[in-house]
Every structure is written in structure tokens, then in C-alpha cells.
């Protein structure tokens, strides 16, 4: 018999803020965390906007000396993980506890800095912390080391699906009996000249100079995504393990689906067939029909192809019920956090589910006939949604969907 998996802790660092109260206020106000790039001088560049993280360690969870040995991507992950662990009320550790923490790129700021250093002083003078700061898996390792988790420690690297795949793999590890607790999510910190320049050269980023019209998922005038940064961590726990210690439960994970387009290295597969199949896998595992889906946290990158393709996938999934569930993309508020996007967006979904407030699709103005969905256009919209899918799709054709159901006392039976 498969075991049930619940979410008992949330921790995050995001462009809108770093606690649930701030995020709920943003949902009600329709706030947007996008602004002028301040991490470096982008005033002469084509791309001048991003969704940066501010004041990310107000609680001083990492001492100054340790920070100097960590890339920003590792710092975000560790802070989010510590917050999630504390939020869960856990005090246990050991071999039954694991980590599943994804990152699409890893320590890109460190790579850029050390490349410049090598040009200036030679490759023999690189920092001894270069490799530990740069490799993608080290954020997962930091969490395991900090919390004493000796079960499996994994780092899914599936581009922008990394965070959602990390949640899904953590869910499977518990469901199939390998672990009792998993800290899972994603982290990214790539707002630097190398990261923004690389995506800009692909024509993937918006060149809008207006923060309120740069990331506009499903809007007819969308022209590319906006780079974001941050980290999100969820504590997943086997149901009986959580109940035994009297844990507060946010939601139950009831389905996960993952596929690969196996087509183009950057463009989604025409028609959204494999994205649809990932969602269908999650829905079938959940044992629910299209009529029972209340909300979709869409991948919704604000790129012409992605939003159109995701719409086609949802139309195929939901059929005549396509206008029933509410749909929004958190990227309208926080840009695209790449490998962290799925984790932070799942957390935003659960914050909204708990408060019965739908995450809005802000700054939408121009309807697109090819993206006719039931979008959440009203900030602060109250709606007691009980089921939700969170989607993530990445370069290389990686598709991942995770299905949540709100936890209620009757679910204990």
C-alpha cells in the first residue's frame, strides 16, 4: 500500500518577500516585484529589468564568514530550508530524512567572478572555494549538513522544471517507503551580466522598460520572460509520521507527472502533447476528474510560444471544463526564477490555498485569442480552492506537474 504524503513546512526567499503575511498582502494588492536591475549596471543594456531579492537574511541565519564561502544561490537555499524546517516544527533528523533540492544553473555568479579572476591573475590563483560554490548540488548538501539529514540527498537539474521535479521526487521517496521526511524545492541566483546576457542573446527575455508590462503571462503583448531569483523549500512528510507528532498540515500531495518533449532544445513541443501528458499523469494519480480541479498555477513564462502551448495542453486536459479552474502565473509578480520557480510557485499556491485567496495574474491588459483561460485578474480574489496543479516546463522539453489537495480534518480518517 502506498503511503500518503503531506506538506508540513514552508520556507522561501522571493522577490515579493520572505514570509506568508507579506505574500498574502501582495496577492491582495496585486503587487509586482519587478524593477530596475541593481545587482550590476544594466543601464546601457537591452534588458534592464529583473525581479531581485531584497533583504534576504534579516534574521541572520547565516554568519558572515560562512556567507563568504557560499554563492548567493547556496545562501538562498540554506535560508529557505532553515525557515521551512522551523515552520514544520520538526526536531528529528537522521537516515529517514532526505533532501531533494534542484537548481537549473547553480553558482553562476561565482563562475563569472572566477573567470574574470583567471584572466587577471591566472588559473593557478583561483579561489579554493570556486568549485564548491559553483556546482549545482552543493545547495542540497548545505541543507543536509546544516540539519543532519542522512537519507538520500539529490539535486534534480531539469532546467526550469528543477524545483517541481525536486518536489515530485521527494514525494515519491516518501510514498514508496524510502524516507519519512524530505526537504525539497529549488534555488537560483543568476541575475548577473553572464546570466542575463546569455538569455538575452537567445531573445528569451523581455526588453520592456516598464516593470508593469514586462512579465505579462497570457497577454497578447508578451515578448519574453523577466529574470527572477530566490529559493523555495517545502517539508514533505509521511502522513502518520506527521500526525504522530501533531504537525500542522498545509496540504496533501496526491499526484506527480513528468515527461520530456524530446524535441527541440529550447522550444516546447507544438501542440503541448507532452506537457498535457505530465498534467494527465498527475491528475490520474490523484484520482480526480477535470471537474474537480479548482486552480492551475501555470508555468506561464510570458513568452509567445510557452503560453500558447500551455493553453493548448490545458485545453486537451480539461476539454469542455477548460474555463472551470482559475488560472494564473506567479511569474507576473516575481518573474521567472528558473530552477527555483516551481518550488516558490508551489509555495505561493499553498499560501493562497490556506488563506482562500487566489494568486493573481497581475498587469494583464490585452486578451489573446490563443490563450483563452479563466485567468485570475482580480487581486485579492477570495475563493476556497481545494485542489491545484502547479506546472513547470524547462529547456530541453522537461515537463513536470504536481497536484495538491487542501488538508482538512476529515482527511485523517
Lowest-confidence region among 68-72, 263-267, 344-348: 263-267
- What tens digit of pLDDT does each residue of 189-235 get? 999 999 999 999 999 999 999 999 999 999 999 999 999 999 999 99
Non-local CB neighbours of 5 within 8 Å, separated by 6+ positions? 171, 174, 175, 236, 237, 238, 239, 252, 253
Tell me what percent of the residues of the chain surpass a pLDDT of 70. Answer: 99
Residue of 86, 83, 107, 85 lying closest to 98 (CA atoms): 85
Please compute, for residue 290, the number of CA atoms within 13 A of its CA located in the half-sphere on the CB side.
Answer: 15
Please check whether residue 306 is in contact with residue 268, taking contact to mean a CB–CB distance below 8 angstroms.
Answer: yes
- What tens digit of pLDDT does each residue of 358-398 get? 999 999 999 999 999 999 999 999 999 999 999 999 999 99
Please compute, for residue 367, the number of CA atoms within 13 A of its CA located in the half-sphere on the CB side.
Answer: 7
Please compute, for residue 231, the number of CA atoms within 13 A of its CA located in the half-sphere on the CB side.
Answer: 33
pLDDT of res. 70: 96
Residue pointed to by grid coordinates 547565516 = 62
pLDDT of residue 293 exceeding 90, the answer is: yes
As given in the structure block, the three cell numbers for residue 247 are 504537525
Residue pointed to by grid coordinates 518536489 = 167
pLDDT of res. 330: 98
pLDDT of residue 81 exceeding 60, the answer is: yes
pLDDT of res. 270: 85
Mean pLDDT across the chain: 96
- What tens digit of pLDDT does each residue of 128-172 get? 999 999 999 999 999 999 999 999 999 999 999 999 999 999 999
pLDDT of residue 44 exceeding 80, the answer is: yes
pLDDT of res. 10: 98
pLDDT of res. 410: 64
The pLDDT confidence band at residue 57, using thresholds 50, 70 and 90, is: confident
pTM: 0.97
Domain count within the chain: 1
The pLDDT confidence band at residue 19, using thresholds 50, 70 and 90, is: very high
The pLDDT confidence band at residue 58, using thresholds 50, 70 and 90, is: confident
Q: Which residues belong to the active site?
A: 160, 299, 336
Q: What is the mean pLDDT of residues 7-21?
A: 97
Query: How far is Cα 167 from Cα 393, in angstroms, rounded to an integer?
Result: 14
Q: Which residue has the higher pLDDT, 335 or 268?
A: 335
pLDDT of residue 2 exceeding 90, the answer is: no
pLDDT of res. 358: 98
The pLDDT confidence band at residue 276, using thresholds 50, 70 and 90, is: very high
**The Cα angle at residue 52 between residues 305 and 363, in degrees rounded to 5:** 50
pLDDT of res. 408: 83
Q: Give me the domain span that covers residue 127.
A: 5-412
Please check whether residue 332 is in contact with residue 219, taking contact to mean a CB–CB distance below 8 angstroms.
Answer: no
pLDDT of res. 412: 59
Query: How far is Cα 19 from Cα 2, in angstroms, rounded to an integer?
Result: 33
- What tens digit of pLDDT does each residue of 237-274 get? 999 999 999 999 999 999 999 999 999 998 888 889 99
Q: How far is CA 263 from CA 266, 330, 395, in A?
A: 9, 27, 10
pLDDT of residue 413 exceeding 60, the answer is: no
**Helix (H, G, I), strand (E, B), or coil: what is residue 148?**
coil
CATH of the domain at 97: 3.40.47.10
As given in the structure block, the three cell numbers for residue 215 are 512579465
The pLDDT confidence band at residue 290, using thresholds 50, 70 and 90, is: very high
Query: How far is Cα 98 from Cα 208, in angstroms, rounded to an integer?
Result: 42
Q: What is the mean pLDDT of residues 102-122?
A: 96
**The Cα angle at residue 362 between residues 359 and 366, in degrees rounded to 5:** 135
Work out the widest C-alpha separation in the chain, in whole angstroms.
66
Q: How many CB atoms lie within 10 A of CB 270?
A: 13
Virtual torsion, Cα 232, 236, 242, 245, nearest 10 deg: -50
Non-local CB neighbours of 293 within 8 Å, separated by 6+ positions? 283, 318, 321, 324, 325, 387, 388, 389
Amino acid at each position: 500500500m502506498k503511503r500518503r504524503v503531506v506538506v508540513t513546512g514552508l520556507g522561501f526567499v522571493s522577490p515579493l518577500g520572505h514570509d506568508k503575511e507579506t505574500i498574502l498582502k501582495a496577492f491582495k494588492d496585486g503587487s509586482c516585484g519587478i524593477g530596475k536591475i541593481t545587482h550590476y549596471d544594466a543601464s546601457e543594456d537591452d534588458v534592464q529589468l529583473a525581479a531581485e531579492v531584497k533583504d534576504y537574511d534579516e534574521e541572520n541565519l547565516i554568519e558572515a564568514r560562512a556567507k563568504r564561502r557560499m554563492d548567493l544561490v547556496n545562501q538562498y537555499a540554506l535560508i529557505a530550508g532553515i525557515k521551512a524546517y522551523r515552520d514544520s516544527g520538526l526536531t528529528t533528523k537522521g537516515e529517514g530524512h532526505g533532501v531533494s533540492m534542484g537548481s537549473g544553473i547553480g553558482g553562476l555568479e561565482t563562475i563569472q567572478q572566477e573567470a574574470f579572476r583567471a584572466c587577471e591573475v591566472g588559473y593557478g590563483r583561483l579561489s579554493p572555494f570556486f568549485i564548491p560554490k559553483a556546482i549545482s548540488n552543493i545547495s542540497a548538501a548545505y541543507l543536509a549538513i546544516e540539519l543532519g539529514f542522512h537519507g538520500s540527498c539529490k539535486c534534480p537539474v531539469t532546467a526550469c522544471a528543477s524545483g517541481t521535479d525536486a518536489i515530485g521526487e521527494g514525494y515519491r521517496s516518501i510514498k514508496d517507503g524510502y524516507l519519512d521526511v524530505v526537504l525539497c524545492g529549488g534555488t537560483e541566483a543568476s541575475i548577473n551580466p553572464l546570466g542575463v546576457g546569455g538569455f538575452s542573446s537567445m531573445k528569451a527575455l523581455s526588453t520592456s522598460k516598464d516593470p508593469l508590462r514586462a512579465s505579462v503571462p497570457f497577454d497578447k503583448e508578451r515578448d519574453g520572460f523577466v529574470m527572477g531569483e530566490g529559493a523555495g523549500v517545502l517539508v514533505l512528510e509521511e502522513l502518520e509520521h506527521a500526525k504522530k507528532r501533531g504537525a500542522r498540515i498545509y496540504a496533501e500531495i496526491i499526484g506527480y507527472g513528468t515527461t520530456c518533449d524530446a524535441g527541440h532544445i529550447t522550444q516546447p513541443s507544438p501542440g503541448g502533447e507532452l506537457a498535457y501528458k505530465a498534467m494527465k499523469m498527475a491528475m490520474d494519480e490523484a484520482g480526480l476528474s477535470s471537474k474537480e480541479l479548482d486552480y492551475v498555477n501555470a508555468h506561464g513564462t510570458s513568452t509567445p510560444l510557452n503560453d500558447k502551448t500551455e493553453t493548448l495542453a490545458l485545453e486537451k486536459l480539461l476539454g469542455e471544463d477548460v474555463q472551470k479552474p482559475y488560472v494564473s502565473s506567479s511569474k507576473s509578480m516575481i518573474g521567472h526564477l528558473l530552477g527555483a520557480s516551481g518550488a516558490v510557485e508551489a509555495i505561493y499556491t499553498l499560501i493562497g490555498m490556506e488563506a482562500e485567496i487566489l494568486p493573481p495574474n497581475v498587469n494583464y491588459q490585452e486578451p489573446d485569442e490563443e490563450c483563452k483561460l479563466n485567468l485570475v485578474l482580480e487581486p485579492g480574489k477570495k475563493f476556497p480552492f481545494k485542489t491545484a496543479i502547479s506546472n513547470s516546463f524547462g529547456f530541453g522539453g522537461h515537463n513536470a506537474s504536481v497536484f495538491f489537495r487542501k488538508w482538512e480534518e476529515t482527511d485523517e480518517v
